[in-house]
A and B are shown apart, each in its own frame.
Chain A
Amino acid sequence: KAGVTQTPRYLIKTRGQQVTLSCSPISGHRSVSWYQQTPGQGLQFLFEYFSETQRNKGNFPGRFSGRQFSNSRSEMNVSTLELGDSALYLCASSPHRTDNYGYTFGSGTRLTVV
């Protein structure tokens, strides 16, 4: 079966712009989480969506937002980009909120802010 699909794979944006990243979970998975990975801070939890509702949020400024659609696909948006937002953004999906066995990650979107 298809895995977690993230688009685009690579993105270059200018400081001050905004960006939208997309994540298509594995079919049947209802929980989608987002993580930011940087060399300095490592992997950090951004937020988690289940049934179109944000259930958990990490410690990130309001410039980072997300949403989940009725088909479980999710998008995250970063407004007013800063150089420090350059990172690999990873999405993960699982069938249920408490089913960690099914927690599968995508290959990520590498965002470069110049």
Chain B
Amino acid sequence: AQKVTQAQTEISVVEKEDVTLDCVYETRDTTYYLFWYKQPPSGELVFLIRRNSFDEQNEISGRYSWNFQKSTSSFNFTITASQVVDSAVYFCALSEASNYGQNFVFGPGTRLSVLP
């Protein structure tokens, strides 16, 4: 069965601090996809990144970076020089190729508060 764990329920940082959000996943599939989504107060889930199981390259996009490690089944997300606008709930999600990649299992989310 697939499962996603985000151990950090809430994190508070002061603006300009770096923050890392942890994500650990479980799956029996050899082909799967990992995602991070951001949910601001408006409720809409905003896509941040997708990674497939064969691509362990880390990625950097502006202030965002992702560290995918299959050996520890982790897909951690780091925000560098955080800003107040980064305040939101962040979800890590997993979908398996056996479900045609359409059945997402989400983690419980991490609420990030960036204080001015």
Question: Chain A residues in contact with chain B, CB under 8 A?
Answer: 31, 33, 35, 42-45, 48, 50, 55-56, 58, 88, 90, 92, 94, 97-98, 100-101, 103-108, 110
Contact = CB atoms under 8 A, between A and B. Distances in A.
A43 B44 CA distance: 12
B102 interface: yes
B34 to A, nearest CB: 10
Category for how many chain B residues contact A = 20 to 34
B50 A101 contact: yes
Contacts of B105: 45
Interface stretch (B17-25, B67-75, B78-86, B93-101): B93-101
Contact of A35 (B50, B99, B104): B104
Nearest to B102: A48
Given A100-B33, A100-B35, A105 B45 contact: yes
Contact of B43 (A33, A92, A103, A110): A110
- Give the residue among B44, B102, B108 with the most A Cβ atoms within 10 A: B102
Given A42-B107, A108-B44, 14 more contacts: A31-B102, A33-B102, A43-B91, A44-B106, A55-B102, A88-B43, A97-B100, A97-B102, A100-B35, A101-B50, A105-B44, A105-B45, A107-B42, A107-B43
Contact of A56 (B45, B97, B99): B99
B67 to A, nearest CB: 20
Given A100-B33, A100-B95, A103-B47, A45 B103 contact: yes
Nearest to B106: A43
Contacts of A45: 103-105
Nearest to A4: B44
Nearest to B104: A45
A56 B42 contact: no
A55 B100 contact: yes
B88 to A, nearest CB: 13
